[in-house]
Structure 1
Amino acid sequence: VAVEQLHPALLEKAEALKEELAGLEHKMAQGSEFNVDENKRYAQVTGVVTVYEEFVALHENYEALVDMAHGGDEGGLADEARAELQTAVPELVETTARLKARLLPQHPFADKAAILELRPGAGGHEANIFAADLLAMYVRYCQLRGWKHEVLSKTDHASGSGITEAALVVNHHGAYDRLRHEAGVHRVQRIPSTETKGRVHTSAAGVVVLPKMDDDGAAGAAARTFRPDELRIDVMRASGAGGQHVNTTESAVRIVHLPTGIIVSIQDERSQHKNKEKALTVLRARLAEKELREKQERERSARTGQVSSVDRSDKIRTYNFQQNRVTDHRCNYTLHDLEGCMQGTKLDLVIDQVEKREADDAAEELIRKLETK
């Protein structure tokens, strides 16, 4: 296993954070009380420095073992060193990756829960079926990780198979940071069950991943309230499958955010009040994601030297059933276990590769900034 050498600029940043932590600890020892922001900063810096000190100790041990392994075989020390390197190298590789990730700028919504919205794209009824398959994949993924989740809304296709839309809320701290890489167009290539000539059809489904903004009572977007003139709230009778309660009360809610034109419709609950709460949750998430995207676009256009990055793209991933493969086009990674991915057990392998590519791009950008200071 190759040991990655961290760029000197990243190591300098780690040393600077170590000095900052010493300053904060000195201030604390003097009896100074920290405000909320200082407490948050102290926790952030402590987390990075802890990993950095672990990295330094492992790296020093690794270099000592390499010297011993290449030295004379006095008393069998070289053999012992080579044996110890079998465990020392993987530990150092894992810690180096953790330190690199810690030194990179965190996504502003990294600690949020997530809302996933799924809709069929091109490809007819097969797209509806694939959208339902993706929803099932994410539900299983949450179950495997022990993440609390709930299908916020789901509209079944008139045929009884597939969906026309769905929203899944994942109420787990940090779920957004992991799942945000799923945003984009997912393409499927397979032979539909209705196909008589064995032809492979291509269809697609779109996934939108939003940060859940009202899960922690924080200020700003998390506790966003709306003026009466910002919203138009329509109530109507629910439609679709639902038994005797459908169409008997006006429980379905549609909220239009007039300044942006964003529309959210929820009809899952029998209670109008609960549907309104769910719709406002989705609206807050969509607005937060929209504002962040616009801010990032402004920053990107202001940069002179742009770098490629794993941003949301049109077609992010292809699922080919005949070839038993899942290919993520952002990092050119192919997993030859489609069933494992669809069952949620191997989805982490794909997400890990996308995150690695994003981290590499972000590290290059950070190094460029540090070197120009």
Structure 2
Amino acid sequence: MRTQVAIIGAGPAGMLLAHLLHREGVDSVVLEHRDRDYVEGRVRAGVLEQVAVDLIDRLGLGERMHREGLVHEGTNLAIDGAMFRIDMAALTGGKAVWVYGQQEVMRDLFDAAAPRGIEPLWGSEDVALHGIDSATPHVTFRRNGQEHRLDCDFIAGCDGFHGVSRAAMPASVLKTFERVYPFGWLGILAEVPPADHELIYANHERGFALASMRSATRSRYYVQCGLDDRIEDWSDARVWDEVCLRLGPVAAAKVTRGPSFEKSIAPLRSFVAEPMRHGRLFLAGDAAHIVPPTGAKGLNLAATDVIFLAEALADHFRTGASAGIDGYSARALARVWKAERFSWWFTSLTHRFPDMDPFARRMQMAELDYIRGSEAAQRTVAENYVGLPLD
């Protein structure tokens, strides 16, 4: 088998890149270890920045998103129950974010793939990268009990934090930066209307909480929990009680309780790998960086990575130029670190840390109070939340 770009991973980064390359007339093959149902069914991010929305539109995949997605022009912060709103649209010249779950994005990407000749090779096992330092890289894998070799010009590693792509980079080249947080998020999904038409981020003495949604009838709630907590310890009743307590009485009065149909605990970390390109291998999405979900940047960073990468690869195949592919890592990382900074800061602002003493808590409260009373501070939050410009 031969292609121009071998894409490892059929998640958001891999599939967005495949569609972008198809649009530019560049051939690609997507290898995915799991099956479509698994990849599409993973419960992940639900907030899209304008850059991601524009990309989906540019790919001709936005019809259902515009019909079913929810536009949010603001967001809410609650401090021990006292809530205030940040008008993002007013502070950023009309920009907003869209609530449209990653599962829906993946469904749209997969539904449009086959008609465009993009057919991921599901069940590709034992994927290995070869010759990334040479002009003739290739990928080997096993599928349906048979061994395969895929020759290519470049490899795009879009296979997530635990994938094989980043591990293929020489240890002498790769540098990693990580911050593991001493808590997790317990999340539930329930078929109930949301407590508010916009998200509510709550900082409470008992810990963080988030009221969000996937649609007008499906809600997603999170509460900060310990890393050693177990799902079995959190009955639905306990979750709802904790959500209402942390959101405060005004928001809690609008919470509709109901049975959860999905419940999970996720640890939080900040992670960046540098560089995002070595030889003929490029990293994109979670293979290169992880952000805590507080800032809703994961899927959006994957989208901007592949915008930069597709642009660079298309230019190379069209003109032979190497400036774009040579500059990809630096260009992507400049945006990645800004998103990491915001996600780290927002996490630090809204969560209770185990070693937080009374002074640190007072500083956290003072900063939240400053944001509440300062238009300049709210503009900074809004600009980062809706997404910084591409360049």
Specify which structure has the bigger relative contact order, considering alpha-carbon pairs within 8 angstroms and separated by 6 or more residues.
2
TM-score of the pair, normalised by structure 2? 0.22
Asked which structure has the greater CA Rg, the reply is 1
TM-score of the pair, normalised by structure 1? 0.23
